[in-house]
Structure 1
Amino acid sequence: MSFTSSPPLSFSFKEVLESFLPPLISVCLFVPYVFPSFQFSAALVLAALAGLIISPAITKIAFNSSKKIIFPLTYPVTKRNWETLHKERFWCEDNWDFDRLDYYLKPDMQNLIYLSGAYIKFYTSLSFYFFIYSFLQVIFLLSYIFISIKDILQTPTGSGVGEIFLNLFQQQTPLLGGTELPTLLTLLISAVAMYMLVDQAQLEYLLLFGKNGHYDKYARAYHEINGHLAKSIWGRVQVDGMPLRLSKMKLQEIDSVSPDDAIGEGKTDENGYFQLRNPLRINEDSKQYRIIFTYKQKDKDIKLLHVLDVKAHEVPEFNLNLKETS
């Protein structure tokens, strides 16, 4: 499910977050470079127009830029990248039927989900604007240094290197209303703001789409009430207390007699988590499956079997602790 969907009811705060505040802040950041005496009242009008005309396109550009440029830049601080977020989202989307879940959700729950999506857009758009703003500050400072060094080389009476770097701290960035701030200070503030906004965008993304996020939490609750929301069988497997990493696995009907029969196949990940798509049919209350894990240990093929009891109104998540001797 996409967080770009429209809410079932009018939700004005969502529209403010998505379409008004990001353009307003961008106008306040960038317009003073062209019109230093630009006033806040004019910024409000310009932001409203920008929100109507270009906000959806800018949001899309901002999100794509965040994935490819900003997330890698902030990874040393946030320790999260796009692949991590995407993996969490697809884990939940493969587990649950979100279209069916929408049918059960109450309006206040739907609004909470749509508001979380609006926060993702808000933080992502602002992080993009502050990234561009920080980049401009760096360009202006480097341009000043380059021009000053060129002046030293061409003019014997030009400023010394020490004076150039002293003047560097005196370079000013225009702000709204004709005020100014030192460029180095605005660079520091904008860079910190970008990191904080990216961190918040990623946290909000996980809060909505991640394991134990809004979708996952609501799906678990309604699955136990109504059943038939799960699309997969998933969980984690350990052998003798250690995660079973990168093991081949096969799901069979409990009465299957051929070892080659499989209604689902896959592989555990580096931490022993597994996921097999095989939902119960709508008229089934419970069913048993045989799950087979195959892996190598000291050049020997090892096969472990376990029976899964899947019920219509129970979350099909299994934490398996197997023994190699079994």
Structure 2
Amino acid sequence: MPNAIRFHQTGGPEVLQWEDVDVPAPAAGEVRLRHHAVGLNYIDTYHRSGLYPVPLPSGIGVEGAGVVEAVGEGVSDFAPGDRVAYGGGPLGAYSEVRNIPAHRVVKLPDAISFEQGAAMMLQGLTAQYLLRRTYRVQPGDTVLIHAAAGGVGLIACQWAKALGATVIGTVGSDEKARLAQAHGCDHPIVYTRENFAERVREITGGAGLPVVYDSIGKDTFMDSLGCLRPLGMMVLFGAASGPVPPFDLSLLNTMGSLYITRPGIAAYTAKREDLVAMADELFEVVGSGKVRIEVNQRYQLKDAMLAHRDLEARRTTGSTILLP
């Protein structure tokens, strides 16, 4: 019987349990997938902690890569033996074997390994919609990417640089600053000793930015707004430091008629054709060498509790995978 990580109550990493699971034949519209690698993402901690509530007991994880073992009735796009990957759910990626709706899966090019696939799908698709759809980065733009040495951050820095942008990024240490700089970040700011809003004003000569990409939330939100030029866009796509408290929307007017959005991957990939187009663009930019996908940490899947502890303690950089 295959195994999976599940949790029966919300809380810290200790609630994650390694359990036997029954995986039936795939239902109509599903494929059965044997994972070769599973992605670790910060959203997994939100599900586990209850910040993003899910029905319990529950599986966990929204990203993986592997081989199709069987297909359900009506599935014509995939066949047993196909290499595939997915990012964005449904929950249950922390597993050796799972069933998943076929419309959430894309074929993985031969040039991309299972480890890269598991490390790039959610983070890479997130970078794609942030840079190409939420705010479409143009040559000559200067952008701020928080957590620049994280999984999304390293991909987004490289991609934004390839698009012709000047990239400012916040990081927590000199080591992470060097890592971000090696991946396209022109101006890494170590937020533990520098005020990033002041540094942004210095770098831009007081002009401010057209966009800020903020996955941190509570601790950075107001200063991020302060980095924007008039009519700039605040893109809040995470809450690593906690949710943003309520605030007076009239501030957006007084600070320069700012825009704010809280995007999520589910809406951007809801249509199958959008998911495939986004994945194709991601595969192209990786295949061209403009964006490098590097796995910086590997854990055994059964050690997911340890991986969560390291992730939340900011002991990881870039992409992390779990190996079944």
TM-score range, shorter chain: under 0.3
TM-score, normalising length: structure 2: 0.25
Instruction: Select the structure that is richer in strand.
Output: 2
TM-score, normalising length: structure 1: 0.25
Instruction: Select the structure that is richer in helix.
Output: 1
Larger of the two Rg values belongs to structure: 1
